Chain A
Amino acid sequence: MGAVFRRETLSYFTSPIGYIFLAAFYAFSAFSFASNALQYSTTKMDGLFQQLMIILIVLIPILTMRTLSEDKKNKTDQCLLTAPVSLGGIVAGKFLAAFLIYILGVAITLVYAIVVSAFAAPDWSVIFGNIVGLVLVGGAFIAVGIFFSSLTENQVVSAVISFIALIALYMLTTIGEVIPSDFIEDLMPDLGPVWRTVITEALVIGLTLGIFFLFGKKAGVLIFGFIAMLVFGVFAAKGELMPMIFEKLSFWERYVGFTYGLFDMSNALFFISAMVVFLFLTVRVLEKRRWA
């Protein structure tokens, strides 16, 4: 893990990526800081931190797009995967390197806090909470980006998909509100919730098994089928829960509390679990490629 971590960190600075990321992060955050705190003569920095999350959505895919896709393309993954290191070690090394560059970016917010403190004493505990929140959400974003870079050997594709995924994670609340939560109910208005669920699940299971047996027994089909069962099951049985579920999964809802200085342990754990889940999925992708 150490070797991969050191090489990756170094490579951020031998290629332009590290510089571009840091320069863009500093520039946008400085602009945001100036237009929020400085212009309105306030020591409150919640505006800055809220905008930083949007900046992250654009910048994190750039930071993570090459992590695993470049290795695959240049075949350098052969030297990593045939070395006596675990897959987890490789992924962790890559994650920590990207995370370190990200921390270097986030560190600039301390400078802003010090600038503000020259005018009036800010609430240090709130600023500390802000930074912790930003670090956590960024870590989760990096894990998502690394996951998508493991799926493709094309850096541009990797960046674009991560970008789309991060926007989706950010907007989950809105998505949940837009999807009509009662569309299955509308399709079968005369049936009670139990029958509705049974019929929906039967359809999903039938479709999944059909695809599974017709198009070469791929395990992925079953996994997708299982997820579809869960999602459509909830829609059919208790559609009105959907907006709430989306809201609970929304990165924005989890993050925005931090910017007001609310340190909620469940939100912190949410981001840490998101990190772990996506890094775990990345390891599985690498493992699966070996068995393909």
Chain B
Amino acid sequence: MIEVQNLSKHYGDKKAVNNISFRAEDGEILGFLGPNGAGKSTTMNILTGYISSTSGKALIDGIDILEDPIKAKSKIGYLPELPPLYLDMTVKEYLCFIYDLKKCKLPRNTHLKDICSLVKIEHVYNRLIKNLSKGYRQRVGLAQALVGNPNVLILDEPTVGLDPKQIIEIRTLIKKLGRNHTVILSSHILSEVQAVCDKIVVINEGRIVADDTEDNLSKKLSSDHRLTVRIEGDQDKVVKLIEGIKDVETVDIGAKHDAAVWEYRIEAKEGSDIRRELFTRCADRGFIILEMKSSELSLEDIFLRLTMGDGIGDGGED
């Protein structure tokens, strides 16, 4: 369990983290969402005892990280933004070093073997870390966090630098770990957090913009009512047709793609789903839908939404 109470960190006059509080229970994956420089890494560094807070408390399984750092740290596995790897060691030497450093009591060889097969680094076990690609280094970093089977895992952007297949693997792994660990993971990718986490905390400029439990964030951020469609047919008629659909609020005309093919960005009332009606109407009139997708919300959109209420902002593309 992780509990953060009124945590602040000031660098001179700059407030990197400003009075934030949140909680993650056992067996819960908490997603920490925010743009670069929002204070995600600073918060994680405070939680792990790497830096200290200016005020406020961080409790790991009920232990204050400042009062009993050694005991609290022994419950944490931490993957920082940049995996803290000694490049001149082999993966094996490095993991053994971490094993010793954490004063781990589990049977060494089997424990390390298990971790390696979990993050799929068995076949590079005897290679120098210096010679590994970024994706593998990231995995070794993750393996390092898992050594000693700590209760709490704190992962700072764990999927950065991985290829799409690895990203899916790591996400699945984190989900699996989330069943019996408390996991905090940070990301600036909304879909990632939505895919993996039970709970989302959105942070911007050192403040919590939204906490899932209070605001029911996932519903708010659902994007089925914002569509980007590509339709073949006369522009004016298509616009008229779309505007005719119930619940549609705005229609924007995007780029022209081909002769008589335009892109349209449609925003409907929140919570409504107009895809079926759009399809049948177009089919009736003989307009051909070439492409239809829900618009991904960019982080800016999210902040606009969360800080300024509903339905503002157009052009929801990344």
A residues whose Cβ falls under 8 Å from a Cβ of B = 2-4, 6-7, 10-11, 14-15, 74-86, 216, 290-292
**Which of A7, A74, A79 gathers the greatest number of chain B CB atoms within 10 Å?**
A79
Sampled A-B contacts (15; CB under 8 Å): A2-B100, A6-B97, A15-B88, A74-B86, A75-B82, A76-B84, A76-B85, A78-B78, A82-B48, A82-B50, A82-B76, A83-B98, A84-B70, A84-B74, A291-B51
Smallest CB gap from A216: residue in B: B12
A14 to B87 alpha-carbon distance, docked (Å): 11
Out of A11, A77, A216, which one reaches B84, CB within 8 Å?
A77
Whether A78 and B50, one on each chain, are in contact in the complex, defined by CB atoms closer than 8 angstroms, is yes
In the complex, chain B residues whose CB is within 8 Å of the CB of A14:
88-89
- B101 contacts which of A11, A75, A80 (Cβ < 8 Å)? A80
- The answer to whether B276 has its CB under 8 Å from any CB of chain A is no
Looking at the assembled complex, report how far the CB atom of B181 sits from the nearest CB atom of chain A, in whole angstroms: 16
Are A3's CB and B73's CB within 8 A?
no
Please list the 5 inter-chain residue pairs (A to B) with the smallest Cβ-Cβ separation, ordered nearest first.
Answer: A3-B100, A79-B84, A84-B74, A3-B101, A82-B48
| Chain A, Cβ-Cβ closest to B90 | A14
Q: Are A4 and B101 in contact (CB under 8 A)?
A: yes
Q: Which residues of A contact B93 (CB under 8 A)?
A: 10
Q: Which residues of B contact A216 (CB under 8 A)?
A: 12
Additional pairs, 17, CB under 8 Å, beyond known A75-B84, A79-B78, A290-B50: A3-B101, A7-B86, A10-B93, A15-B88, A76-B86, A77-B84, A79-B98, A79-B101, A82-B48, A82-B49, A82-B50, A82-B73, A83-B102, A84-B73, A84-B102, A216-B12, A292-B11
A6 to B97, CA, bound (A): 8
Contact in complex: B101, A83 (CB < 8 Å): yes
Residues of B whose CB lies within 8 Å of any CB of A are 11-12, 45, 48-52, 70-71, 73-74, 76, 78, 80, 82, 84-89, 93, 97-98, 100-103, 144
Q: Give A167 to B18 CA distance when docked, in angstroms.
A: 47
Report the minimal beta-carbon distance from A282 to chain B, rounded to whole angstroms.
Answer: 18
B74: chain A residues within 8 A (beta carbon): 84
Are B86 and A75 in contact (CB-based, < 8 A)? no
Given the known interface contacts A14-B88, A75-B82, the answer about A290 and B98 at a Cβ–Cβ threshold of 8 Å is: no
The complex places the Cα of A228 from the Cα of B16 at a distance, in Å, of 35
- Give the residues in chain A near B48, CB-CB below 8 Å: 82
Q: Which chain A residues border B101 with CB–CB below 8 Å?
A: 3-4, 79-80, 83, 85
| Complex alpha-carbon distance, A80 and B50, angstroms | 9
Which chain A residues border B11 with CB–CB below 8 Å? 292
Which residues on the B side are within 8 Å of A77 (C-beta)?
84
In the bound complex, CA of A85 to CA of B103 (Å) = 9
Question: Min CB distance, B86 to chain A, in Å?
Answer: 6
The docked-state distance in angstroms from the alpha carbon of A82 to that of B82 is: 14
Interface pair A86/B73, CB less than 8 Å apart? no
Please report the C-alpha to C-alpha distance between residue A291 and residue B9 in the assembled complex, in whole angstroms: 10
Complex-state Cα separation, A27 to B181, whole angstroms: 56
Please give the distance in Å from B58's CB to the nearest CB on chain A: 13
Kindly report which residue of chain A lies nearest to residue B13, judged by CB atoms. A216
Known contacts: A3-B97, A83-B102. The answer to whether A78 contacts B80 by CB under 8 A is yes
> A202 to B254, alpha carbons, bound, how many Å?
75
Which of A2, A7, A11, A79 is close to B144, meaning CB atoms less than 8 Å apart? A79
- In the complex, chain B residues whose CB is within 8 Å of the CB of A11: 86, 88-89
Give chain A nearest CB distance to B91 CB in angstroms. Answer: 14
Whether A86 lies near B70 (C-beta < 8 A) is: yes
A80→B86 CA distance, assembly (Å):
11
Which residues from chain A contact B50 at a C-beta distance below 8 Å? Answer: 78, 81-82, 290
Chain B residues whose C-beta falls within 8 Å of the C-beta of A80 in the assembled complex: 84, 101
